[in-house]
Amino acid sequence: MITYVNNGYEALSAGILSAFLAQIIKFFIFTIKTKKVNFKIFTTTGGMPSSHSAGVMGLSTSVGIIEGFDSVIFAVAVGFALITMYDAAGVRRAAGKTAACLNRMMDDFYKHDVQAIGGKLKELLGHTPFEVIMGAIFGCAFAFFYHSYLTGLI
């Protein structure tokens, strides 16, 4: 039997694994929705659920479970998570909308030969608030299940 050791590896692995699993979920949602298989989804930003949100909330929740939800390090982790999620739904989403607008303009200007200027800009950069919230919920839930698994509760 493996003895559970309370350390930072649990928090780090909870964050990484929750982000990774969110990308897998995103792949399946995309495949079901579009009826197309696109393996590039594993390496792209944007989409449902937000893997950034899942990762930072998985990390933050693990820190809270391990160190206590009233600890300073938990407050720092949540602050980091909130900034990351705000960026995903705000700044990066606005950048994606700007890229879409520029792509349409370049499409018109170059008469549908956008390769002449180096190709289209990436449009799917950010997330809707719903995608961010769902990623955050997934990250929190994953951290609790992961901790329960590691401690032998399930």
pLDDT in tens, 135-145: 999 999 999 99
Kindly calculate the radius of gyration of the chain based on its CA atoms and give it in whole angstroms. Answer: 19
Residue 1 predicted with pLDDT over 50? no
Model pLDDT, residue 14: 96
Model pLDDT, residue 34: 85
pLDDT in tens, 7-46: 789 999 999 999 999 999 989 988 898 888 887 777 777 7
Model pLDDT, residue 125: 56
pTM for this predicted structure: 0.77
Question: Residues in the chain, how many?
Answer: 154
* Contact call for residues 123 and 96 (beta carbons, < 8 A): yes
Return the domain boundaries, the chain.
Answer: 8-90+126-150
pLDDT in tens, 66-115: 999 999 999 999 999 999 888 877 766 666 667 667 667 676 666 666 56
Cα–Cα dist 124/95, whole Å: 9
